[in-house]
Amino acid sequence: MSKRIFITIFGLVAGLLLVGASCVSFSSNQTGTTGPAGMFVSTDKGESWQQTSALPKADGVKSINGVSVNRLYEDPQDPRALYVTTPANGMFYSFDDGKTWRQPEGPLSSGFVYAVAVHPKNKCVIFATNGRKVFRTDDCLRSWTEVDSELRSDVSVRALALNPFPPYQIFQGKTNGDILQSFDSGNGWQVVKKFNKRLVNLVANPLKENLLYAIMKEDGLYRSEDGGASWVSTKDKLKKLSGGLEYRRFALHATKPDTVFWISTYGILRSDDRGDNWTAMNLITPPGSANIYGFAVNPQNENEVYYVGTIGNRSLFYKTVDGGKNWTTKKVPSGQLPTVLRVHPTQTNVIYMGFSIPPKQK
């Protein structure tokens, strides 16, 4: 069975993160941000940036530079196909590496969209959720079918994950910790786990069959190696670090199925045994001093790591080419909160950065 490489972007709110659960939780000292939001791209590994915000409409070319980016997803078959979820403006998609953006018609054209999952073998089959309902398109976003709904007012759907291997079941994760799966494209669902913890993301590993991760907001990382039937917690080592359980981002290694990255209040951690043991990266900023909402690793060179650290309302772009022994810093292209980083899987000089406008304090 061929195993397809798939890079997930958390995050940041990873999974981006979360203003809630699958978005970014903004801290109270993030005030006075300025500048555009939306998406930026660098073609020289972060040395310079330009906004990529064109939104062609029937009445002219508009812009997404006022849109807060919650998460960025990529088609596992086509790295040029990107999907952006937002906390107020629905979802946007691009089929040309982000040069231009479109918005689907229907229920996902406005409001909060939390998660997207693209079928690993059929790019026209896509699932998305606005928290209250789960939708599926079978015709490349031309139309949507509601396949599930959450009626409890205190529970919402925050995560979706598609099994990269047959039978390609779809999973959904809810804020109360419930995980459901469907083997028939969402027409019927069954509960596979009740965590009773605040779940924020689900990630299926495309390099190892049946390896699935569940991310909790404040209780660390859980792992299943049998497709969700049973789970183990990896938090014993994480909880020994101050803020180590408090999720910011999570990422898979592009080629090593047992290697994962956990970004928390503490900082950036790496595990080479699926979360049983962790090694902290040496950062310029002391542990717990910076909020890290954007993180990415060059899929062709694991020693090339990028992250964005935010202290107060000031953010910097950090880069290492030697696995964290030395870091360089650069200004970010906007004063808003950087919530997404993505390195292009084949053109690794190209990096994407997404920004979100923090909600006004009352």
Main-chain phi, psi angles of 290, to 5 degrees? -130, 140
Cβ neighbours of residue 144 closer than 8 Å, sequence gap 6 or more: 104, 106, 107, 108, 128, 135, 136, 137
Instruction: Dump pLDDT digits (tens) for 183-194.
Output: 999 999 999 999
Mean pLDDT (whole number) for 156-171: 97
Instruction: Dump pLDDT digits (tens) for 75-133.
Output: 999 999 999 999 999 999 999 999 999 999 999 999 999 999 999 999 999 999 999 99
Instruction: Dump pLDDT digits (tens) for 133-142.
Output: 999 999 999 9
pLDDT reported for residue 361: 64
* 61: DSSP letter: E
Q: In the chain, what's the furthest Cα-to-Cα distance?
A: 56
Angle (nearest 5°) at CA 230 between 9 and 297: 20
Is the N-terminal amide bond of 167 cis, ω within 30° of 0?
yes
Instruction: Dump pLDDT digits (tens) for 278-318.
Output: 999 999 989 999 999 999 999 999 999 999 999 988 999 99
Q: What percent of the chain has pLDDT over 70?
A: 91
Confidence class of residue 24 from pLDDT cuts 50, 70 and 90? low
Instruction: Dump pLDDT digits (tens) for 47-64.
Output: 999 999 999 999 999 999
Cβ neighbours of residue 338 closer than 8 Å, sequence gap 6 or more: 293, 294, 308, 310, 315, 317, 332, 353, 354, 355
pTM above 0.75? yes
Is pLDDT at 12 greater than 60 in this prediction?
no
Q: What percent of the chain has pLDDT over 90?
A: 88
* H/E run at residue 16: helix 13-16
Residue 112 and residue 20: Cα distance in Å, rounded? 11
Residue 106 and residue 248: Cα distance in Å, rounded? 31
Is pLDDT at 13 greater than 50 in this prediction?
no
| Mean pLDDT of the chain, nearest integer | 91
Asked whether the CA dihedral 77, 47, 93, 70 is positive or negative, the reply is: positive
Is pLDDT at 1 greater than 80 in this prediction?
no
Mean pLDDT (whole number) for 212-222: 97
Beta strands (DSSP E) in 247-350 are 247-252, 260-264, 268-271, 279-280, 291-297, 305-311, 314-320, 328-331, 337-343
CATH tag for 13-356 (out of 2.60.120.200, 2.130.10.10, 1.10.3720.10, 3.60.15.10): 2.130.10.10
DSSP three-state, residue 293: strand
Is pLDDT at 19 greater than 50 in this prediction?
no
Mean pLDDT (whole number) for 157-163: 98
